Amino acid sequence: MSREKVLALLRERQGEYCSGEAMSRQLGISRAGVWKAIEGLRQEGYTISSAPNRGYRLEEGPDLLRAGELSGALSGCLVGRKLLCLETVDSTNTECKRRAMAGEAEGLVVVADEQTGGRGRLGRSFQSPKGQGLYLSALLRPRLEPGQVADFTAWVAVAVCDGIEAACGVRPRIKWTNDIILGGKKLVGILTELGLESESNALEYLIPGIGVNVNQAPEDFSPEIRDMATSLAQELGRPVRRSDLAVQIILALDRMYAGFPENKAEYLEKYRADCLTPGNQVQLITPVSRQEAYAVAVDDDFRLVVELPDGTRKALSAGEVSVRGMYGYV
């Protein structure tokens, strides 16, 4: 734990020297404890310089998803006030649900280096290879009726776009309703799950799960999704530090949740600007049928308005159908 606290302090003040005495006072550990933590971090691959009468300075480090890399930047946030950073998990959403049912307070964020059972909408799997992506879920307990969170995934999609833009300088687009697109291919999958109290049907918890393809090369994707999936590294032409990306996405989720649902006008405007589905001929896919339609607009409830071949229009809610382009993924 001392090692994570020291790393968080060094990361928060990266580029500056921080004296061992000051760290000892601030963290409530001995000078020897600070030195031991510094040496442990060096053994893990962190480059930490030291200078007499000046202290320690973090120069660079490995791309690890750990509390010390994330917590300093999240001070004061509700989302991310508690972090659970795992090497491997079946699914960050599933782990969040286990914690929720055990009584965990809202604000927990579960981050994993690898998922062995990553999940998407409609029971689909989400490929989650070790060390290449960002897989995180947040446990939220809004005091709202279930119907009031029906459009929550759309808000999450906007927050993810905000986080990626802050971390990488590029803003992706949204394929209705919850896929994040860059370069015409899928970059991020989002799965929001909720729990209801059985007798009252009251909302117990809300868990948005986010999987980002960060540093995968084309050959890292299985053949069946290679033509429709991409990563930030592929699109930017450089690797992306996952911990920096995680911080910015969590910060964006925290801002979004603080204004939910009061800031609907702001997030609806951003969603409409980001959504690339309207204006395109699409396929509406259910487990038993496919139907062509023209995507017209996103309405005031984040539903996709489509026009069918007979000229009738209907508004689709998230979860009713999958929407795919006529000649490709988007």
Of the residues 12, 29, 60, the one at which a domain ends: 60
Identity of the residue numbered 66: R
Residue 123 has pLDDT above 60, yes or no: no
Helix, strand, coil percent values for the chain (each to nearest 5)? 35, 30, 40
Q: Each residue of 74-100: pLDDT tens digit?
A: 999 999 999 999 999 999 999 999 999
Residues 240 and 170 in one domain: yes
Does residue 316 sit within a domain? Answer: yes
Residues 148 and 99 in one domain: yes
* CB 156, CB 178: distance < 8 Å: yes
Residue 160 has pLDDT above 80, yes or no: yes
Residues 270 and 285 in one domain: no
Residues 262 and 308 in one domain: no
Q: Which two tokens stand for residue 206?
A: 């809300």
Residue 22 has pLDDT above 70, yes or no: yes
- Helix (H) / strand (E) element for 281: namely strand 281-286
Residue 309 has pLDDT above 80, yes or no: yes
* CB 135, CB 210: distance < 8 Å: yes
Residue 121 has pLDDT above 70, yes or no: no
Residues 40 and 101 in one domain: no
Domains: count for the chain: 3
Residue 9 has pLDDT above 80, yes or no: yes
Q: What is the pLDDT of residue 129?
A: 75
Whole-angstrom distance, CA of residue 281 vs CA of residue 277? 9
Of 4-13, 157-166, 222-231, which one has max mean pLDDT? 157-166
What CATH number is given to the structural domain containing 7? 1.10.10.10
Please spell the DSSP secondary structure of 99-161, one letter per residue: HHHTTPPTTEEEEES-BSS-B-GGG-B----TTTEEEEEE-B--SS-GGGGTTHHHHHHHHHH
Residues 104 and 238 in one domain: yes
Q: Each residue of 248-265: pLDDT tens digit?
A: 999 999 999 999 999 999
State the average pLDDT over residues 3-19: 92
Residues 238 and 320 in one domain: no
Residue 288 has pLDDT above 90, yes or no: no
Enter the pTM of the model: 0.92
What CATH number is given to the structural domain containing 302? 2.30.30.100
Q: Identify the domain containing residue 42 by its residue range.
A: 2-60
Confidence bin at 36 (pLDDT 50/70/90): very high
Does residue 89 sit within a domain? Answer: yes
Residue 327 has pLDDT above 70, yes or no: no
Q: What is the pLDDT of residue 211?
A: 95
Q: How many helices (H) and strands (E) does the chain have?
A: 9, 14
Does residue 330 sit within a domain? Answer: no
